Structure 1
Amino acid sequence: MDRLTTMATFLKVVKFANFTNAAEELSISRTLVSRHIADLEAHLGLKLLNRTTRSVTPTEAGLRYSELCQKILGDIRSGEEALAAIRNEVEGEVSILCPIWIGSFGISRATAEFCKHHPRITVKLQFEEPSANPHDFLNQGHDLAIQPNTLRDSSIVVKKIGKIDHVLVASPDYIADHGAPQTIKDLADRECLAKMSDTAWAFENGERIVLKAPSKFASNSVFALRDAALEGLGVAMLPKGIMFDTIAKGMLAHILPDFPLAPRPLYIAFPPGGDIPRKTRLLISYLATWFKEHPSDLN
């Protein structure tokens, strides 16, 4: 029989000096109250209660045991209340893992503004290239992860917080050697430089181009893909926000400008289950609202 339950029953009997009243308080039968007390006495090998036809009073051992029960149950109650407070607190640290290139898209400003509005919450924002394993941010001790890819076959929960426009680019040398694609279908004859997780590129008009595998050059870093495009290795799909200067300086050319790519969603990932701390839920909600109000910061 559950020891904590029998302890709670014993304390009620001591409080009311009566089995029947204790049973009513606990919403259980008098028979079950008697069984709980008998189980305790058998477990301890001691008589805990003196029973008469008029009352029930604790023995000397019963008095000492009631003090122990009060301490144990009180400590458990206090501990659970403290844990509940952690869940609902609006102070403490929230750790976020974010891809390096997304640092150029307002995430730093958004989290800094969050800290300003919630001075008792601290944010630790770490930038590094994402792992192929969607659970790694949790294994590394982070609470959240900014995730530019849809997570397949994962228990990790994601919430969309914005979208990022992408463009196709290639170097002037590559275009001189291979010609500029005139239609989306022309990409099938070009070397496409893609992220390792990409299998196809989608366009706003609904067309898709399936990427050849293996690619001549692939990476999980958009900066590595940009460098490969600069070296003339092929056509790369890159976030629009990091390409303005490179295109403006003529180092890379915008390919198929009349066929815009479908915007890619930006997610924030967090552990499964709805029982996450309030401070973390506040930050998730804040980032979703912030990027909705500042869409230009993602492009």
Structure 2
Amino acid sequence: MDSFKAMQAFTAVVRGRSYAAAADSLGVSRAVVTKYVMQLEDHLGARLLNRTTRRVSTTEVGEEYFSFCTRVLAEIRDAEAAIGLRQREAEGMLKIMAPKSFGSLYLGKVVADFSRLHPNIGVSLLLTDLSLRSVDLVEQGFDLGIRLTAQADSSLVSRRLCAIRWMLCAAPAYLKARGAPTEPGGLKDHECLLHYRSLTVPTAATWTFLRDGRAYPVRLKGSIVVNSVMALRQAALEGAGLALLPTYCVGADLRSGALVRVMGDCEVAEEQVSVIFPHRNLLPMKSRLMIDFLAETFRMPPWA
């Protein structure tokens, strides 16, 4: 039995005082209305309506149940209207998950600028280096996530924001003391600062460079291994060695000369900055507005 439709049919009969009037108001046949009311009475084990050839009236139980149905159906209508309005209007709390380093550098300004444009939308931003999976977003109640790597979870929808380039960098003091490598193989003679994401074993990593359409993987050991590109950048600025760093955190350093690009004719495969969300259909307006705002903000990346 469809309880919702049965309650609708029952209340329509009471209001119209006939099955025919109820059928007309609901846009169904009289037989359908009769079936729903009979199913409802069988389900409840009580007669709700007294029927004669001339009129339909409620029993004592039917009168009580009519009041109950009226309240329930009104609450359903109100809830549906509120949800529909919330989908169309820009309001509510927006929960976003993003990587620590990238979020610390760029998303604070994004959130502030977005809030000025949409004061009725609150933003809760969680910065974490945990992987973003559908279970993270859905079970923890997040609306959006920011990813800096390839999308591994096919259950999530992804929209590309911009590209990230990685560059081999070092401080001028380090290069003056140790010289600059010109070939990927020459890195083995240098101090290399490693990120956990590139490790193949606890203290060794593989960096892959592209030159003239050919890939050059280099297996390296490092005395410094960290899980933050910002800490890696700081170590490079201190002259501790060569570091493979994303342009979003070293663009200003390269322009000022605090860091110098090494092996400029070698490239590293680009990665994408993407905004991810659990589904595309019936996306709340607050999410749509933030996705579009992020796309516009990073259309021309501030570190480019």
TM-score (norm 2): 0.78
Aligned-CA RMSD value: 3.5
1:287 positional shift: 1.3
Structure-1 separation of matches of 2:143 and 2:207 = 31
Query: Can you list the C-alpha shifts for 1:99-124, whole angstroms capped at 9, x where unaligned?
Result: 33324654333332222222222333
Where do 5+ consecutive residues of structure 2 fail to align?
Answer: 199-205
Aligned match of 1:298: 303
**Secondary structure at 1:298 match in 2:** coil
d(CA) in 2 for partners of 1:214, 1:53: 93
Contact 1:105 1:298 in 2 (8 A): no
Does the C-alpha gap of structure 1 residues 205 and 107 become closer, same or farther in structure 2, counting only changes over 3 Å? farther
Q: Distance in 2 between matches of 1:220 and 1:275?
A: 37
Q: Which one of the candidate residues 222, 228, 236 is aligned to 1:221?
A: 228
The aligned counterpart of 1:238 is 245
Contact 1:16–1:22 under 8 Å retained in 2: yes
Deviations 1:4-24 (A, max 9, x none): 221111112223333244334
AA paired with 2:129?
Answer: P
Match for 2:279 among 266, 272, 277? 272
> Which residue of 2 is the match for residue 151 of structure 1?
151
Match of residue 202 from structure 2: none
Which residue number in structure 2 is paired with residue 124 of structure 1?
124
For residues 71 and 131 of structure 2, the distance between their equivalents in structure 1, rounded to whole angstroms, comes to 49
Deviations 1:196-216 (A, max 9, x none): 444664648544343538876
Matches within 5 A, 1:1-299: 1-103=1-103, 105-126=105-126, 128-134=127-133, 135-136=135-136, 139-170=139-170, 180-184=180-184, 193-198=193-198, 201=208, 203=210, 206-210=213-217, 212=219, 218-227=225-234, 229=236, 235-243=242-250, 252-292=259-299, 294-295=300-301, 297-299=302-304
8 Å CA contact 1:163–1:266 kept in 2: the answer is yes
Amino acid at match of 1:88: R
Letter in 2 for 1:131: L
Give structure 1 stretches of 5+ with no counterpart. none
SS in 1 for 2:298: helix
SS in 1 for 2:67: helix
Following the alignment from structure 2 to structure 1, what is the Cα–Cα distance between the partners of residues 167 and 77? 57
**1:119 & 1:52 partners in 2: Cα distance?**
60
SS of 1:64's equivalent in the other structure is: helix
Secondary structure of 1:54 counterpart: coil
Moved more, 48-57 or 212-221: 212-221
For 1:215 and 1:30, locate their aligned partners in 2 and report how far apart those are by CA, in whole Å.
81
Deviates more, 1:10-19 or 1:220-229: 220-229
Percent same amino acid at aligned positions? 35
Query: How many residues are matched?
Result: 296
- TM-score norm. by structure 1 comes to 0.79
In the aligned structure 1, how far is the partner of 2:128 from the partner of 2:220? 22
> Aligned AA for 2:273?
L
